Amino acid sequence: CSGTWSSEWWLSNVGKLSFDLFEQKGKMIRCISRVSRASAGIYALKPRWSNAVGRSRSRSMSMSARPAATEWSDDEVMLRDMVKRFAAKEVAPLVSKMDREGKMDGGMLKQLFEAGFMGIEVEDKYGGGEMSFTQTCIVVEELAKVDASVSLVVDIHNTLNNRVVERWGTDSQKSKWLSQMATTSLSSFCLSEASSGSDAFALKTTAKQKGDHYILNGSKMWISNAAEADVFILFATVDQSLRHKGITAFILDARQPGVHIGKKEDKLGIRASSTCEVRFDDVKVAKDAVLGSPGEGYRIAIEALNEGRIGIGAQMIGLAQGALDVALPFLKERKQFGRPISEFQGLQFQVAEACAELEAAKVLVYNAARLKDSGAPFVKEAAVAKLISSKTSEKVASK
């Protein structure tokens, strides 16, 4: 690739693609992904960051300068716009109904899979989009602006479960499970228990080996997506005396004999995303259901949760931005004392503070995401991003 080519040239002359989401559905993310991968070298040789975000870049910018965490490449801008259209057309009309009923719409999950949102980083050979973690966060954020429940379903499935199978699964496990998870089958991350919340690794669910299989017994609490899930990533101990060193990860069919889904929690928020107890009574799984090796479950869970914190951060900034998007027009419409309340300085102070804190949270979230994508350490940055974005989201939404 010549260093004189710009990403704009590449997209307009080589990647002549139709980005009409509602005509191509599941092809969308893969189309953008192919442009992204093919043009990655061009971006590295000559960084041209899109003016679509409202900022022009100086042509005299040093070639060694690094873009800011919240500067978007052309393919990231296109992805964001595509998800925004999907959320407005397919999700927004159902939000009130789903929240009121406390249930995900029957066709929503199918649409999420068809749009390619459930296998964003998964390799193309397994039916995924083969994109970046940052792009996963973009999808999660944009969906959260419209509905936090739909965003959470996409977040957990991508940042926790898909990543666990990609990172720790054997080739045969990936062929069997990951191809389903990227295209048709929702998953749940079964870790927490009644007596092991903050101390999640004091779990009591057991896995007893008997010949060429394991017998699983125990119960899990507060499991997101459990009512709709087809696949469970389960953490159980093969030897409680070993504490965290006995914890082992399993992948299994959520509908197999001995698996019982309990009553859904009646939550105050994020109601359309199911949260349930799951009980395992003498559930038989083959030895090849183990992800990684026996005793590696602690490490698997920790790595997944570290990445998952960034995903939650993306959901939180999306939720906060969505609240602002609803509130700001109202401030201009409502009048008191003969003028819009947006003209009162007291309210202007509150809006300015909310916008400033949200901008800071965005930088934290996407800085952590970029670090993760680059292979640099990101654990501290992920924790900070989740903490600050969560506090910011609550504050913005409450005010």
Query: What is the token pair recorded at 305?
Result: 């949760």
* pLDDT for the residue numbered 64: 55
pTM of the model: 0.84
CA atoms 7, 13, 14, 16: torsion sign? positive
* pLDDT for the residue numbered 10: 36
Alpha helices (H) along the chain: 7-13, 21-24, 27-38, 40-45, 74-86, 95-101, 108-114, 133-144, 148-155, 163-168, 171-173, 179-183, 297-333, 345-374, 379-398
With a cut of 50, say whether residue 25 has pLDDT above it: no
With a cut of 90, say whether residue 338 has pLDDT above it: yes
Give DSSP secondary structure letters for 220-240: EEEEETTTT-SEEEEEEES-G
How far apart, in whole angstroms, are the C-alpha atoms of residue 163 and residue 165? 6
Query: What is the token pair recorded at 76?
Result: 């990231």
* pLDDT for the residue numbered 396: 95
Q: What is the mean pLDDT of the chain?
A: 86
With a cut of 80, say whether residue 121 has pLDDT above it: yes
- Over pLDDT 90: what percentage of the chain? 78
With a cut of 60, say whether residue 370 has pLDDT above it: yes
Rounded (10°) CA dihedral 49, 12, 33, 113: 110
**DSSP 8-state assignment for residue 55:** -
Per residue in 53-64, pLDDT tens? Answer: 333 344 344 445
Q: Which of 139, 158, 73, 187 is nearest to 314 (CA)?
A: 139
Average pLDDT over residues 102-115: 95
Q: Count Cα atoms within 13 angstroms, Cβ side, for 335.
A: 3
Per residue in 285-311, pLDDT tens? Answer: 999 999 999 999 999 999 999 999 999
Contact assessment for residue 248 and residue 208, using Cβ atoms and an 8 Å cutoff = no
* pLDDT for the residue numbered 6: 41
CA dist 372 to 53, 61, 160, Å? 23, 25, 14
Task: Produce one character per residue of 66-96: b if its CB has 16 or more CB atoms within 10 Å, e if not.
Answer: eeebeebbbbbbbbbebbbbbbeebbeebbe
Average pLDDT over residues 327-336: 94
Per residue in 158-182, pLDDT tens? Answer: 999 999 999 999 999 999 999 999 9
With a cut of 70, say whether residue 5 has pLDDT above it: no
Average pLDDT over residues 371-379: 96
Q: Count Cα atoms within 13 angstroms, Cβ side, for 145.
A: 20
Return the higher-pLDDT residue of 223 and 20.
Answer: 223
Average pLDDT over residues 77-104: 96
Per residue in 380-394, pLDDT tens? Answer: 999 999 999 999 999
With a cut of 90, say whether residue 251 has pLDDT above it: yes
